Amino acid sequence: VQLQASGGGLVQPGGSLRLSCAASGSIFRITVMAWYRQAPGKEREMVASIISGGSTNYADSVKGRFTISRDNARNTVYLQMNSLKPEDTAVYYCNVIHSPDWGFKRYPYWGQGTQVTVSS
């Protein structure tokens, strides 16, 4: 499974960006799709996640500002980021949990990361 993320860039405080991450390859079943971020000098943290049924989970710091969604037909996950703040500056990584069959095995995959910079 390969992940290709896009959509990062430089935006002013209060602005918006939309990240996309498309999964490709030998895909059987993707259960969880998520976005993580890592700011300089900090640990990687989960930003938002969404399961195949559509239930979502958000970090407290982004609740009400970010929205995660997925297109199961396209194996793509999106992160709509509104009201961006300088503290949202980080490299954003997409992550999926993939099952190769109907068994219990689960494997995580990571995208290459896309830089988001919020600055005036």
| Confidence at 62, pLDDT banded by 50, 70, 90 | very high
| Confidence at 106, pLDDT banded by 50, 70, 90 | very high
**β-strand partners of 50:** 33, 56
Three-state secondary structure string covering the chain: CEEEEECCEEECCCCCEEEEEEEECCCCEEEEEEEEEECCCCCCEEEEEEECCCCEEECHHHCCCEEEEEECCCCEEEEEECCCCHHHCEEEEEEEEEECCCCCCCEEEECCCEEEEECC
pLDDT in tens, 63-102: 999 999 999 999 999 999 999 999 999 999 999 999 998 8
Residue 39: per-residue pLDDT: 96
Average pLDDT, stretch 104-115? 94
Residue 26: per-residue pLDDT: 92
Residue 71: per-residue pLDDT: 95
* Whole-number average pLDDT of the chain: 96
Q: Radius of gyration of the chain from Cα atoms? A: 14
